[in-house]
Structure 1
Amino acid sequence: MAGRLIVISNRIPTGDPSGGLVVALHDALLARGGVWVGADPDPSEEGRECLHELGDIPYRKRAFRLSKTERQNYYSGFANSVLWPICHRRTDLIEIKSEYRADYLAVNLRLARLIAQDLAPQDVVWVHDYHFLPLAMMLRSLGVTNRIGFFLHIPFPNITDLAILPRPEDFARWLASYNLLGLQTRGDVARALEMFRADPRAEFLRDGTVKFDEHIVTVASFPIGIDCDQIEATARRADPGPFGAANPRELIIGADRLDYTKGLPHKFEAFGRLLQGRVDRDARPTLLQIASPSRADVAAYRQITNDLQAISGRINGQYSELDWQPLRFVHRSVARDRLIGLMRRAEVGLVTPLADGMNLVAKEFVAAQAPDNPGVLVLSRFAGAAEDMKGALLINPHDLDETAGAIDYALAMPLDERRKRHADCLAVVRDSRISVWTDRYLARLASCVPTLALSRHQAASA
C-alpha cells in the first residue's frame, strides 16, 4: 500500500502520544505518512464545513467540528444511548429519538464529504469504532473506491438486539461497504456472519468473504493488545507501596472506566460476599477500585455512580475496623505509572465486565506482574480477553458466590500454580501486542478485494 494512511476516530490525541492504541497508530502514521481525523473536543457552530489542522507533527492531525446539538444527538444520543447499549446487551437502557439518528447520519455524511475532498487514489482509510458505522457507505456514494477498513473496539451485537434499531436493515449495509470488518474475538466474527447469513442481500463466497449487493467484505478477528514491553518497564520502576502505615496485606485491584458494562456493582457485592464468608476473621483483604469518570451527561452513568457509592458505604459500614477499610472506591483518574505500580503490588486483579470488546486492563495487569511472584487474574468470561487467556480464573460476574470463591482461591493460590497461570496469560499478551495488531490488520486490509466504482444509480441509492 503506497498511499497515505487516513485514520478516523471520534477522539483525536493532542500532545505527546500515550496509551497503546494511540502510540501504535502514531507509529503507523509516522512510517507511512498520513492524516489522523477526529472530532474537535470543543463544540462550535463555526467552521463545520471544513477540517481544521491540529498540532505540529510529522503527519497531519485534522479535526471536524460539532455543534452542541450534534454532540448531544450524534455522540451522547445515537452513539452512546443507542449503539453502545445494543452492543453491550443492555437493550433496557436504549433511548431512541428520531433526532439522534438524523444527526448521527448527518455528521457521518458531512465527514465523508470532507474526507473525500482530500483522498488520493492510493490512500487507505482506517475507521475506528461505532461512531462511524455508515462512513464507508457514504464515501462509496461519493465515488470513493479506496480500500476502507473498519475496526469495532466493542462487542458485536446479537442479531436479536439489532432488531431494536430504527431501520435495522441498515446495519448490515453500513458494514458491508467496508473492505475489511475487523472485530475483537472469534465470537464477534460468528455474530457478524450470523447477521449476514440472515440477510437475503448477502452471499457467502468460497474464500469466506461476503458479497453484499455490489460490495465484498472480509470479516476477521484481530484481538487488540498493549505495549507489554512498556508496561513491564514501568512496573519494574514503579513505587509499589503508596499506602504508608495502612499498607494492605492482601490487595485486590480493579481499574475501570466508570461504565454500567464493567460489572462494578457485581464486583462490590461479590467482595462483600467474600468478607461475609471469611473463615479466618483476622484476614483483611482490601479491594481498591479505581473508576475514572465517564459520560456524566448520560443518565445511566449518573445512576451507577450513585449505586456504587451506596454499595461501598454499606460494605465499609458493615465490615470496617478502626484500622482497616476493606473497600476503597476512588472515583477519579489515577496517573498511569502509579496505576501500573498498584497492579504490580496487587495479589489479585479483578476484572468483571458483563460485556466487553477486549478489556486491556486484564492484559495490563498480567504484563505488570513480577514473573517470579505474580498475582492472579480473576476475569469475567464475558470479556473478549477471556477467549484466549485461559490461564486466568474465569468467572461469571452475575454469580456472586462463584466470584467470591475465585477471589478467595486466588489469594491462597500456591506459587507454582500462580507462575504457570501467569506464564500462560503473558504468552497471550505478548502475541497480541499492539504493534503486531496494527501490522496484522493493515496487511490483511492490503490483501482485500478492491472496491469497484459504483454506477450513478448505485451511488444514488447508497
Structure 2
Amino acid sequence: MKRLICISNRVQAASSGASSNRGGLAVALSAALRESNGIWFGWSGEQTDEFTGQISFRRQDGVATATIDLEAQDIEEYYNGFANRTLWPLFHYRLDLTEIARDFAGGYARVNQRFAETVAPLIEPEDMIWVHDYHLMPLGQRLRERGFSNRLGFFLHTPWPPASLMMSLPGHKDLVKSLLSYDVIGFHTDEWRASFIDYIVTHLGAELDGDHALLDGRSTRLLICPIGLDTSEFTAARDTPAARSAQSRLISSAVGRQVIVGVDRLDYSKGLQERFMAYEQLLTTRPELRERLFLLQIAPPSRGDVPSYQQIRAELNALSGGINGEFASIDWVPVRYVNKGYAREELFGIYRASRVGLVTPLRDGMNLVAKEYVAAQDPEDPGVLVLSRFAGAAAQLDAALIINPHSSEDMADAIARALSMPLEERRERHAAMLASVVKQDVRWWSARFIAALEAPEPSKDRPRLTLAGGQS
C-alpha cells in the first residue's frame, strides 16, 4: 500500500479511552494511517498571533501527525464562520440558520490556500492524498494548481444538500466544480451521491460514465462508502473496569426502571428538542409508563461561540426542566440531562445498561452512535435501537425501529414499542444489525475508499452517458 496522507480540519489521534464525542473520524483515520505508515495533517486547534506555516510533528499511538496553528481571523472567518455558520447548516438542510458573509467566504478560501501551501513540502510523488469533509472542499483544486498529479480523494462526512438549497450559496458553482479536481469523492449513502449528481449534471453540465463524473477532461469516481465503527476496539471495552462500573452504576441508579439513552453532540441537527418533546408526548399519553423508565440524555456542548448553539442549549435546559417539573415525583426524575462527555469505555457500559437507544437526528451524514449502541448490546438480552430515517446509518441498520423525528407521535410510539418488544424479536433485530456493523466496519470503509483511490483512471476513450435526474 502506498503512503497515505490524510488531511482534515482538525487533527486528533484517537487513543484508547478517548471520549466518544471526539467523533468517529479520529478512530477511523488512525486505523488507516497506522496501516500505511502515513501522516495526518491539519489544524492543531490552537491560535497563533501570526500565521507562519510552521508545522508541529508528533507521533501518538503509532500515528504521525503534522499540525499548524491558525490566526484569530482565520478561526473566526473560516471555522466559526464559513464552516460552522454557512456550510454546516446548509448541508443539514437548515437554510434558516445559514449565514452568508463575504468575510466568511474569504477566510475559507484563504485557509484552504494555506493548507495547500503548507502541506505541499510533505507530499511525495507516489503518495495518495485523502481529504476530509466540507471544511476543505477546494483543497484538491489548490493542490492541482500547484502541479500535484497524485491520486486525490475526498470524503464527505455530512449529507449533500439538494441543488435548490446549494444554489443559495454565493459562488456555489466554483465551489462544487472544485470538488471535481479529486479522483474519488466518497459519500455515506446513495441519497447524498444522487443529490450531488443532480447538481453537477444540471448546473455544471457534467456527464456520467457509470459511477464516474466527467467534466473538462477530468474523471471523478463517485463512491458510496459508508463509514464504519472500529468494532473490535470498541467492543474490547466490554471487560474494562470503567465499562463494568458505568453499567453497574446506571443499573443501580435505575432502581428497576428501564433506561432510554441518547448520546449526541449538542447540535441542532441531532433533533434533541424534538426528542424531548416526543418523550413528553410518551409520558402524557401513556401514564402507565411513568416512574417505570427515565431518559438519560448525554449532550456534550460544542461550538459554544456560535449563537445558534447557545440557543439550542437554552431550549434544552427549558424543555428538560419543564418535563421534570411536570412529571417528577420525590423519588423519580424522568429526564437526566448531562452536558458533558464520557470516555468510550464508560459509554459502552451506559449503552449496555440501556433498554432503548435513541438516535433521532433531523439530518445526519452517518451517526456512529447508532453503531456503537448496537455493538455494545448483550446479544442474549439486547436493547432496541430507535433510529431516524434521516440518519445515514438507517440505510445499513434497517432492522432498527425507523422513525420520522419530526413526528412526536411516531417517536413516542416507537419508544413504547421498544420498551415492550419481546426478547425473540429484540434478538433477531440486533443480530441483523450487528452483522452489518461487524462486516462493514472502519477497516472495510477505509479499504474500500483506498482501493478506489488506488484504481487506475478509466479510459478516456469509453463512450460517455449523460444522465439527468440525479441517477447513476
Q: Same fold (TM over 0.5)?
A: yes
CA distance in structure 2 between the aligned counterparts of 1:247 and 1:315, rounded to whole angstroms: 20
Moved more, 93-102 or 236-245: 236-245
Letter in 2 for 1:195: Y
- 1:226-245 correspondence to structure 2 within 5 Å: 226-237=229-240, 238-239=243-244, 240-243=247-250, 244-245=252-253
Identity of aligned residues (%): 42
Cα 1:282–1:308 change in 2 (3 A) is closer
Report the Cα offset of residue 54 of structure 1. 3.3
Displacement of 1:156: 1.0
Counterpart Cα distance in 2 of 1:172 and 1:119: 25
CA distance in 2, matches of 1:22, 1:126: 14
Q: Which amino acid aligns with 2:105?
A: R
User: Which whole-Å CA distance do the structure 2 matches of 1:183 and 1:282 have between them?
Assistant: 42
- 2:169 aligned with 1:152, yes or no? no
**Unaligned residue ranges in structure 1 (runs of 5+):** 453-462
SS in 2 for 1:231: helix
Task: Please list, as runs of the form range in 1=range in 2, the aligned pairs for 1:164-313 lying within 5 A after superposition.
Answer: 164-205=168-209, 207-237=210-240, 238-239=243-244, 240-243=247-250, 244-247=252-255, 249-280=257-288, 283-313=291-321
User: 1:457 is matched with which residue?
Assistant: none
**1-structure distance, mates of 2:124, 2:223:** 27
From 407, 423, 429, the counterpart of 2:437: 429
One-letter identity of the residue aligned with 1:385: A
Q: SS at the partner of 1:385?
A: helix
Q: Distance in 2 between matches of 1:343 and 1:26?
A: 24
CA contact (8 A) 2:299 2:338 kept: yes
SS at match of 2:153: strand
Q: State how far apart, in whole Å, the 2-side matches of 1:450 and 1:26 are.
A: 30
Q: Is the 1:241–1:247 contact (alpha carbons within 8 Å) kept by the matching residues of 2?
A: no
> What are the Cα deviations for residues 194-219 of structure 1, in whole angstroms up to 9, with x where unaligned?
111113441222x4311111321000
- For the 8 Å contact 1:9–1:128, the answer to whether it is kept is yes
* 1:351-410 residue CA offsets vs partner (Å, 9 max, x unmatched): 110000001000000000000110000001000001121110000011101100100010
Residue of structure 1 in register with 2:73 after alignment: 69
1:447 aligns with 2:447: no
Give the structure 1 partner of residue 122 of structure 2: 118
Tell me the matched-pair count: 450
Pick from 332, 336, 352: which aligns with 2:344?
336
Equivalent of residue 89 in structure 1, options 49, 72, 93: 93
Does the 8 Å CA contact 1:358/1:385 hold for their aligned counterparts? Answer: yes
Alignment-derived partner of residue 456 in structure 1: none
Q: Are 1:22 and 2:26 an aligned pair? A: yes
Matched, 1:130 2:134: yes
Cα distance between partner residues in 2 of 1:25 and 1:373 = 32
Q: What's the TM-score, normalizing by structure 1?
A: 0.93
Write the distance in 1 (CA, Å) between the matches of 2:330 and 2:456: 63
When normalised by structure 2's length, the TM-score is: 0.91
Give per-residue Cα distances to partners, 1:136-163, cap 9 Å, x unaligned. 0111111111000001111111111111
**C-alpha distance in structure 2 between counterparts of 1:281 and 1:360, whole Å:** 29
1:305 and 1:248 map into 2 onto residues whose CA distance is 30
Number of the residue aligned with 1:33 = 37
For 1:123, the aligned partner's letter is D
**Native 8 Å contact 1:85 1:93 kept in 2:** yes
Q: Is the 8 A contact 1:252 1:348 kept in 2?
A: yes
Give the distance between the partners of 1:220 and 1:15, measured in 2 at CA: 26
1:41 alignment partner, SS class: strand
Aligned-partner Cα distance in 1 for 2:299–2:201: 39
Q: Which amino acid aligns with 2:248?
A: G
Partner of 2:8: 9
User: What amino acid is the match of 1:362?
Assistant: A
Q: Write the deviation string for residues 156-199 of structure 1: whole angstroms up to 9, x where unpaired.
A: 11111111111111132111111000011111111111111113
Structure 1 segment 351-362 matched on structure 2, within 5 A: 351-362=359-370
Who is 1:108 aligned against?
112
Instruction: Name the SS for the 2:264 alignment partner.
Output: strand
* 1:258 Cα deviation from its structure 2 partner: 0.3
User: In structure 2, what is the equivalent of residue 459 of structure 1?
Assistant: none
Unmatched runs of 5 consecutive residues or more in structure 2? 461-472
Change in 2 beyond 3 A, CA 1:382/1:23: closer
User: Quick check: 1:398 aligned with 2:397?
Assistant: no
Q: 1:131 is aligned with what amino acid?
A: H
Residues 387 and 102 of structure 1: is their aligned pair in 2 closer, same or farther, counting only changes over 3 Å? Answer: same
Aligned-partner SS, 1:161: helix
Call closer, same or farther: CA 1:293–1:32 in 2, change over 3 Å: same
Match of 2:469 in 1: none
Which one-letter code corresponds to 1:387 in the other structure?
A
Structure 1 residues 13 and 450 mapped into 2: Cα distance closer, same or farther (>3 Å)?
farther
